[in-house]
Amino acid sequence: MPSLIDLRRRIRSVKNTQQITKAMKVVSAAKLRRAQDRVLAARPYAQIIQRMLANVAQAAAEQNAAEEIELLARRPEKRILLLVITADRGLAGAFNSNVIRLAQKFIAQHREAEVRLELIGRKGRDFFKRRQANISGEYTTLFQKAPRYEDALEIARKVIEMFRKAEIDSVYLVVNNFKSMMASLLVTTRLLPVELPEKQEQIDYIYEQPPGELLAALLPRYIESQIYRSMLESDAAQHAARMTAMEAASTNASDVISALTLNMNRVRQASITREIIEIVSGAAALD
């Protein structure tokens, strides 16, 4: 049975850990509020550009101009680029492992193709680098602060250039989208070739340029906005996951402290009882 000193040391250690988890929860909650505001601000732009893309695409299709656009070209998927967005830090529950597991599942489903990885986030980079995966690019400092549009622009330009040069045949994205403070949505979406939105009631725009030229200019902006929004979604989701994980850790620490305190009281009571018995027995022996 552990001694009183060992139990007190364990209780002190768990209390110190609990202070850290509580502090991390507070920090994650503050970061989550700002990240959530950025996500909510970015979603309307993504919806508007998607509606605009649908209308311009319909106008271009009526003039048979969409078939000549490079970013719409469909080729057999022999070389695939997979963008995997994880966090730079752990202690976020199953946030990173879920993304990595989905990426592994995607790779397994496309064994016949050459899958290259574009890794955004240190956790994904570390995992796949240890397994000597086919990594074409890595970005490990983007989430130290709030995600920047310039970083998404750099990634988008690289991806678009590779697709235009036919170095890759398609581009997919694996990301944890922010759903609520308690849940996130793990999705795999195709970025290239761009899948145009379904036909809808077309707004009667007056185009100064041919719709085909507008569509060709609009598609790169659409890719950039999709990558940037995914980075914002992942950033908010990781803070929500870390806050939830730290709250659970703090609760578990309280349970451990209660159990250790109860055990310590029993040991102390047994020690006191044993001392009393020894005193009584010694006094009886003297009589």
The reply to whether 205 and 103 lie within a common domain is yes
Residue 11 belongs to domain with CATH number: 1.10.287.80
**How many folded domains does the chain comprise?**
2
Residue 197 carries which DSSP code? P
Six-digit token string for 166: 């036919």
The answer to whether residue 141 is domain-embedded is: yes
Of all residues in the chain, the percent with pLDDT exceeding 70 is 92
Tell me the angle at which helices 122-130 and 95-109 cross, rounded to the nearest 10 degrees: 50
The predicted pLDDT at position 197 comes to 66
The reply to whether 236 and 249 lie within a common domain is no
The reply to whether 266 and 143 lie within a common domain is no
Convert the pLDDT of each residue in 223-266 to its tens digit. Answer: 999 999 999 999 999 999 999 999 999 999 999 999 999 988 88
CB-based burial of residue 229 (10 Å sphere; 0-12 exposed, 13-18 middle, 19+ buried)?
Answer: buried
Cα–Cα dist 153/33, whole Å: 25
The predicted pLDDT at position 277 comes to 77
The reply to whether 141 and 252 lie within a common domain is no
Residue 198 carries which DSSP code? P
The reply to whether 167 and 276 lie within a common domain is no
Phi and psi, residue 258, nearest 5° = -65, -45
- pLDDT tier at 102 (50, 70, 90 boundaries)? very high
The answer to whether residue 32 is domain-embedded is: no
User: Please, which contacts does 42-46 make with residues 24 or more away whose CB atoms are closer than 8 Å?
Assistant: 42/225, 42/228, 42/229, 42/232, 43/229, 45/225, 46/225, 46/226, 46/229
Q: Which residues pair with 135 in a beta bridge?
A: 117
The predicted pLDDT at position 264 comes to 87
Residue 145 belongs to domain with CATH number: 3.40.1380.10
The reply to whether 256 and 236 lie within a common domain is no
- Does the pTM surpass 0.75? The reply is yes
- pLDDT tier at 70 (50, 70, 90 boundaries)? confident
The reply to whether 266 and 124 lie within a common domain is no
The predicted pLDDT at position 49 comes to 83
The reply to whether 216 and 98 lie within a common domain is yes
Of all residues in the chain, the percent with pLDDT exceeding 90 is 51
The reply to whether 48 and 153 lie within a common domain is yes
The predicted pLDDT at position 54 comes to 77
- pLDDT tier at 204 (50, 70, 90 boundaries)? low
Convert the pLDDT of each residue in 1-31 to its tens digit. Answer: 678 888 889 999 999 999 999 999 999 999 9
For residue 140, is pLDDT > 80? yes
The answer to whether residue 30 is domain-embedded is: no
Convert the pLDDT of each residue in 107-126 to its tens digit. Answer: 999 999 999 999 999 999 99
The reply to whether 211 and 271 lie within a common domain is no
The predicted pLDDT at position 199 comes to 59
Query: Is residue 71 within 8 Å of 215, Cβ to Cβ?
Result: no
Half-sphere exposure of 158 toward its Cβ, with a 13 Å CA cutoff?
16
The predicted pLDDT at position 74 comes to 86
The answer to whether residue 28 is domain-embedded is: no
The predicted pLDDT at position 208 comes to 74
More reliable by pLDDT, 135 or 202: 135
The predicted pLDDT at position 271 comes to 78
Average pLDDT of the chain is: 87
The predicted pLDDT at position 200 comes to 59
The predicted pLDDT at position 232 comes to 94
Convert the pLDDT of each residue in 155-185 to its tens digit. Answer: 999 999 999 998 999 999 999 988 877 778 8
The answer to whether residue 27 is domain-embedded is: no
The reply to whether 216 and 170 lie within a common domain is yes
More reliable by pLDDT, 217 or 119: 119
The answer to whether residue 62 is domain-embedded is: yes
Section 65-71 average pLDDT: 71
Write out the residue range of the structural domain in which residue 9 sits: 4-22+245-282
The answer to whether residue 261 is domain-embedded is: yes
The answer to whether residue 238 is domain-embedded is: yes
Section 21-42 average pLDDT: 91
The predicted pLDDT at position 23 comes to 93
The reply to whether 213 and 264 lie within a common domain is no
